[in-house]
Amino acid sequence: MATYYYLVLGKATPGNEEAFQQWYDDQHLADCVAVPGVKSAKRFRIVNGVGLGTVIQEPDFNSFAIYEMETDDPVAVARELRLRAGTEVMPLSAACDRDASVKYIALAAGACARDDQN
């Protein structure tokens, strides 16, 4: 089996950012990890967007999440996540703007780490 990453950019409905953050961290991540093939999940809160020339701007999304999947069929795992969304095993929050989310399936392609142990 290979390791894939499911990347989700998301945002809250207007005025509901705190409810969105709480629902995502306290419920949604665990619901997603319960899906066969999903090994782990981690969410990041986006604080700024950075445009051309490093211009700081309002971000298009409130957060992004990375789901680690171990599977031979990442599309099937992503499909199962989508099928469960909004059901009793994966309730959604009205604070989540589902129409604004963007999702990708990715493979690790490179890495680099700084060695500060000198």
Distance CA 16, CA 60 (A): 15
CATH number at residue 13: 3.30.70.100
- The per-residue pLDDT for 51 is 78
For residue 10, being part of any structural domain is answered with yes
pLDDT at 70: 98
pLDDT of residue 118: 61
Residue 28 has pLDDT above 90, yes or no: yes
What pLDDT, on the 0 to 100 scale, is given for residue 33? 98
- List the domain range (segments joined by +) for residue 76: 2-106
pTM: 0.89
Instruction: Kindly state whether residue 111 falls inside one of the protein's structural domains.
Output: no
Question: Is 118 within a domain?
Answer: no
Q: Would residue 115 count as lying in a domain?
A: no
Across the range 1-17, mean pLDDT stands at 96
Q: Which two tokens stand for residue 15?
A: 């005025």
Query: What's residue 57's pLDDT?
Result: 84
Note whether residue 112 is domain-resident.
no
pLDDT beyond 70 at 36: yes
pLDDT surpassing 80 at residue 117: no
Question: Does any domain span residue 117?
Answer: no
**Tally of domains in the chain:** 1
The alpha carbon torsion through 95, 96, 98, 102 (nearest 10 deg) reads 150
**Residues 55, 59, 65, CA angle at the centre, nearest 5°?**
125
Flag whether 113 is in a domain.
no
* 47-106 pLDDT tens trace: 988 877 788 888 899 999 999 999 999 999 999 999 999 999 999 999 999 999 999 999
Query: Does 116 map to a domain?
Result: no
User: What 3-state class would DSSP assign to 58?
Assistant: coil
Sign, CA torsion 58/21/6/3: positive
